[in-house]
Amino acid sequence: MLQNEGRIYYFCPSYSRPIGGLKKIYQHVDILNAAGIPSYVVHSEMGFRCDWFENKTPVAYIEAANDPLLVLNDEGDESYLPPFSAYDILVLPELMAYQIAPHTIALGQYIVIFNQNAYLTFQPVKLPTVPFTALRENEDKTPYYNSNLLGTIVVSEDLVEFLEYAFPGLALYHVHITIDFSLFQYSKEKKKQIAYMPRKHKNQNTQLVNILKERNNLSGWTFVPIDNVSEQEVARILQDSALFLSFSEEEGFGLPPFEAMACGCIVIGYHGQGGKEFLIPPYAYPINDGEVLLFAQTVEKIVLDYNKNEKFYQDQAQKASEFIYKNYSQRREEEELKAIWLQIIEKHQKALAAL
């Protein structure tokens, strides 16, 4: 595997609120360790660990690139790992790539970018301050063209298309991600409730919900917002809900509608680009972003029809759940990720041998 006891370090923002991409970083580290590839999540905030989901993922802490890494075990005991070296591979999320890569590359580190949302790729870049050609010519500020970049891992077909166009010739690796199906289980028993996440497209979901409330044609149905609750509570609400309204916005993949389909919800709404590979007929009812009126009309039509043909929609929801389970299994993600990393490690070893 990795030479000279090298390790893989996944950098992760220290956010305490539930964000699917952070959990995915932890899961990748768990998969690699289970495969015998020593790996750690790296946080810059000492003692921080994502605690909104259960995990025992190895976490290391660092303040500067040339410092030893502090490791805390479950009981709080301290140990240290040596500073980063060329034998290690640093994995940077898309939001941190432009900020961290110049410092790590200057020290001879090899990097991988884990881009879970291409629509955030250039967020840290102040484009008007430099000529556009400088993005490619200046390797220090453009990690995607740096010779120390071993590859970029993405989680959807849309991200492949986006980054292939933005960075022609970029080495891309697509892994089909999954969720915890023991938590987000299919449920046939549904209440007449419509779940949605109010923090997504906040203005549009406010308009849509109030349009439907004002029309007063959804007698017997209730709206259930999902906000600031635990992952377990999210799963419970989705399992209880007959419908889920998706307000995905510029997503690399879009876990909420994905989780809703797994739980047996009829999903209506926006795919956010990244979700267009699974939010498809006959399993769901995609609406083009911004078409609030059509969105409201579709919800009302389906609710009124559901009242008359509940069995049809139950069968449709079950097929949607089966589609998710079949095409995005845990086994598929694990096998793809291990295969990707074997390729990256081989490329890394060849680069080291050429030094």
CATH number, domain of 39, equals: 3.40.50
Tell me, yes or no, whether 350 and 319 share the same domain: no
| 142 to 11, 49, 172, 278, 314: CA distances (angstroms) | 18, 29, 16, 32, 49
Tell me, yes or no, whether 165 and 25 share the same domain: yes
Whether 3 maps to a domain, the answer reads no
pLDDT of residue 76: 66
pLDDT of residue 199: 87
* First-residue to last-residue Cα distance in the chain: 19
In what helix (H) or strand (E) does residue 19 lie, and over which residues does it extend?
none
Tell me, yes or no, whether 259 and 313 share the same domain: yes
Tell me, yes or no, whether 318 and 336 share the same domain: no
Tell me, yes or no, whether 20 and 78 share the same domain: yes
Tell me, yes or no, whether 103 and 236 share the same domain: no
pLDDT of residue 4: 62
pLDDT digits (tens), the chain, 355 positions: 666 679 999 999 998 888 889 999 999 999 999 999 999 999 988 899 998 888 999 999 987 767 788 887 766 678 888 888 889 999 999 988 888 877 776 677 899 999 999 999 988 655 444 444 444 445 456 789 888 999 999 999 999 999 999 999 999 999 999 999 999 999 999 999 999 999 889 899 999 999 999 999 999 999 999 998 888 999 999 999 999 999 999 999 999 999 999 999 999 999 999 999 999 999 999 999 999 999 999 999 999 999 999 999 999 999 999 999 999 999 999 999 999 999 999 999 999 998 8
Judge contact between 140 and 185, C-beta under 8 A. no
| 132 to 102, 142, 340, 350: CA distances (angstroms) | 18, 11, 31, 32
DSSP strand E in 262-339: where?
266-270, 285-286
CB neighbour list of residue 117: distance below 8 Å, 6 or more residues apart: 21, 94, 159, 250, 251, 252, 253, 274
CA distance linking residue 313 with residue 302, whole number of Å: 9
Tell me, yes or no, whether 228 and 163 share the same domain: no
β-strands 78-81, 69-72: how paired? antiparallel
pLDDT of residue 88: 94
CB atoms within 10 A of CB 278: 22
Number of structural domains (the chain) is 2
Whether 12 maps to a domain, the answer reads yes
pTM above 0.95, yes or no: no
Q: Which residues pair with 285 in a beta bridge?
A: 268
Tell me, yes or no, whether 291 and 317 share the same domain: yes
Domain housing 209? 191-327
CATH code: domain of residue 308: 3.40.50.2000
Tell me, yes or no, whether 21 and 165 share the same domain: yes
pLDDT of residue 131: 40
| 307 to 153, 200, 227, 302: CA distances (angstroms) | 44, 28, 27, 9
| Dihedral sign of CA atoms 246, 27, 177, 94 in order | positive
Q: Which residues pair with 112 in a beta bridge?
A: 91, 151
Chain centroid to CA 236: how far? 21
Q: Which residues pair with 81 in a beta bridge?
A: 69
Whether 67 maps to a domain, the answer reads yes
- C-alpha closest to that of 344 among 158, 112, 127, 23: 112
Tell me, yes or no, whether 306 and 205 share the same domain: yes
- C-alpha closest to that of 257 among 332, 300, 201: 201
Whether 186 maps to a domain, the answer reads no
Whether 185 maps to a domain, the answer reads no
Q: Read off the tokens for 211.
A: 């349009």
